[in-house]
Structure 1
Amino acid sequence: MGLRMDLQYFAESGGQEKTEKATPKKRQDTRKKGQVAKSNDVNTALILLFVFILLFAYAAVPGQFLHDLFMEIYINYVGMAFTIENVMALFLDLLFEIAVVLVPIMLAALIAGVVSNMVQVGVLFAPEAIKPKLSKINPINGIKRIFSARAIVELFKAILKIILVGLVAFGILWLYADELLRLALVDVMDGFHLVSYLTGMIGIASALLLLILAVPDYVYQRYDHEKQIRMSKKEVKDEHKKMEGDPLIKSKRRDRAKEMAMQRMMQEVPKADVVITNPTHYAIALHYDGDVMAAPTIIAKGADYTALRMRQVAELNAVPTLENQALARSLYDGADIGDEVPEDLFRAVAEVLAYVYRLPSIAPKRYPEV
């Protein structure tokens, strides 16, 4: 059986051991399914703590209710005729009064349950976790869970908690043994106050003890959850491929992005003062405005086909084109689009711009007052 499970695990992991931490997508997917690191012991301890703290401060209300109820039963209800109508009326009356007393306690338990879950897993709505599945009612799987190592561990934990809570309760009762032995000699309400006080103390002490015991369980649940959602290297690679999409679609997307980038760059070429070429392999478009720029700026550059397109656009828009192989190659390798000309190329670029500005077709536009 163990060998078969190992082989199944090996096959499901694609022949690789699950050694990689879960990716953010895997964590999100498992969270949507309701698979999160959560300790039920934390929920139980916090619910008990909230409820017993409320009972500790709220004991006078149910105590007075029980006192009034017994008084009313012995005074008003004892002589009542035993009919269906009277029994139903009495039942509905008592049900309403009991509900009024118990609603605050039930609300405290509800709030504690919500808070304990939010502390552990945050805000989570996972309807997939409550979908009916045949595997959940499979008797074979149920038997496996009953006799699994986890079930044995939970059994020992439950026994340990029962023993410790029993010791706490016994210790508190032992401290108040004299008062408890005198209960028959005190007033009913005084006796009720003592019992409710001891019950609250036992409940709060037990809840605090269970909360302390729940901390290592929560740590273990987080460790076990991380272990369960581990991935093999193949699963990580497959997930990346799936997220990135089909290679053909990726290629088309890249081509589209390059085309759009080229279109934007070609729109900048008409603004250039000069296009420096290699003459066929490289093209660099430069623009300089002394009022707003500290140095000439590269507004477009390209190689091969892109360089050819730049020269064509420059020709159509009457932008001067100047061949300078060394300068074109240096500018292409030394700066990106939007960068200023490197300092070591200032002199060469200044000579090119000075030459361009003296051209008959450029000088009148550049210096209209001359």
Structure 2
Amino acid sequence: MQSEKYYLKLFEYIDHNSSFMFDLQRFASADAEGRTESATEHKRKKSRDEGRVALSKDLPAAIITLLTFSTIVIFSGYIFNILTEVFRYVFENMTRLDVSDSTVYNDIILKPLIKSFIPIASVAFISAALSNYMQIGFKFTPKAIKPDFKKIVPDVFKYLKKQVFSISGYFSLLKSIVKIIIIALVSFFSVKAQLDELLAIAQYESIITSFQFIISLIIEVVFKTTILLIIFSLTDVLFVRWQFEDQQKMKKQEIKEEHKEMEGDPQVKMKLKQMYKSLMSQQKMLAEVSKSDVVITNPTHYAVALRYDSKIDAAPRVIAKGKDKLALEIKEIAKENNIFMYENVPLARKLYAEVEINDLVPEELFGFIVVAYKLSYQSRNKKGVLL
């Protein structure tokens, strides 16, 4: 009875404690979660910027192993000569070497090691860079190397979903089994093919000959194995790309929200449209300045362009006006088209504040406007006499 009560309490605790909830939805595929649409270019770019790309680790590992081992084999004579010289130097000068002198360690340890490993390290680095570049191209992503403290204490269910109870986990297990089989078969058949020679050398030849034969056999096994692993790793490349595309899939609602985010809020769009319309109207207005008769200015801040057509209007009409930067543009256009500019601070301010574009000048300002037009005609007549 006590054990039954204990288990009942335990199940009740697990049922109410979210940390023990085993949600099967965590192990659902993209289709089961409703993510059936291909990823948009925006999401692909965002994923790439965050360092999430379709990168196979098996292919670079196999290529690095093959090229690095090939470098060791090619430079084995060079490395052997360096080590031989070091040992010869040490034995010949053993009684004269001063171990307290730091240059001794540099000469007999540091420098030979650097000379020996520079070719190997260089090939390993270049092969790693190229094998990754062939898959994803070049992209520097600081976010990918940014410390993430969530990885220190990972979500157990998320880890199980990604690494164990998933297609990726099963495929990784299958890859490991196949790799072991490849290594075992290559080793077995390589040794079996030369077993008789191996036994004969072990019985009749010297230790050096036996050692050379064993080394050549190891080289043969490593080369055959790594070549087969490179070929096999192409399946991992295809799987990683398929899995990445599956993980990148989106729900229809996500695409709609992304589209809305990219397009922007409707109110913002309307405001931008109004700004664009205002800009276009300003451009159209500035185009009318060249047709004006006179421009009333407040030296730096205001400019109002007037035009009078006696056949249509009873008074001059405001065809353009502006403040600050726009005023400077109006004055610049007027100057380019030899339009008379009349400087009158109160008149310019009043016209700008009270008269809209395409409206006629009010009667109370006729006196000032007449003066402006009179000075404009006099200026034109003077230019005509000079000409």
> How would you bin the TM-score normalised by the shorter chain?
0.5 to 0.7
Counterpart of 1:222, as a letter, is: R
Helix, strand or coil: the match of 1:85?
coil
Residue of structure 1 equivalent to 2:132: 117
Give the SS at the match of 2:37.
coil
User: What residue number does 2:38 align with?
Assistant: 21
Q: Are the structure 2 counterparts of residues 16 and 136 from structure 1 closer, same or farther at C-alpha, using a change threshold of 3 Å? A: closer
Match of 1:93 among 108, 125, 128: 108
* Aligned counterparts of 2:124 and 2:261: Cα–Cα separation in 1: 44
Residue 193 of structure 1: CA displacement? 5.4
Q: Counterparts of 1:1-370 in structure 2 under 5 Å?
A: 4-6=23-25, 17-69=34-86, 71=88, 75-76=91-92, 80=95, 85=100, 89=104, 93-138=108-153, 141=156, 144=160, 147-149=164-166, 150-181=168-199, 182=201, 185-186=205-206, 188=208, 194-261=213-280
Q: CA deviation at 1:62?
A: 2.5
Contact 1:46/1:211 (8 A) holds in 2:
yes
Deviations 1:40-76 (A, max 9, x none): 1011111012112223322222233444455556x43
Q: 1:32 to 1:317 in 2, by over 3 A?
A: farther
How does the TM-score come out when normalised to structure 2? 0.58
CA distance in 1 between partners of 2:190 and 2:241 (Å): 34
CA distance in 1, matches of 2:274, 2:132: 48
Conserved? CA contact 1:20–1:233, under 8 Å: yes
Q: Structure 2 vs 1, CA of residues 91 and 199 (structure 1 numbering), >3 Å: closer, same or farther? A: farther
Cα shift readout 1:266-297 (whole Å, capped 9, x = no counterpart)? 788999xxxxxxxxxxxxxxxxxxxxxxxxxx
Determine if contact 2:55/2:240 at 8 Å carries over to the other structure: yes
The 8 Å contact of residues 67 and 123 in structure 2, kept in 1 or not, is answered as yes
Cα displacement string for residues 239-281 of structure 1 (whole angstroms, at most 9, x for unaligned residues): 111111221121122233344445666788999xxxxxxxxxx
- The one-letter code matched in structure 2 to 1:214 is S
**Relative to 1, partners in 2 of residues 1:318 and 1:236: Cα closer, same or farther, differing over 3 Å?**
farther
- Paired residues of 1:39 and 1:218 also in contact (CA < 8 A): yes
In the superposition, the TM-score normalised over structure 1's length comes to: 0.61
1:124 is paired with a residue of what secondary structure? coil
Once residues 171 and 33 of structure 2 are traced to their aligned partners in structure 1, the CA distance between those partners, rounded to angstroms, is 29
Give the gaps of 5 or more residues in structure 1: 272-313, 320-370
Identity %: 28
Asked which structure has the greater RCO (Cα within 8 Å, sep 6+), the reply is 1
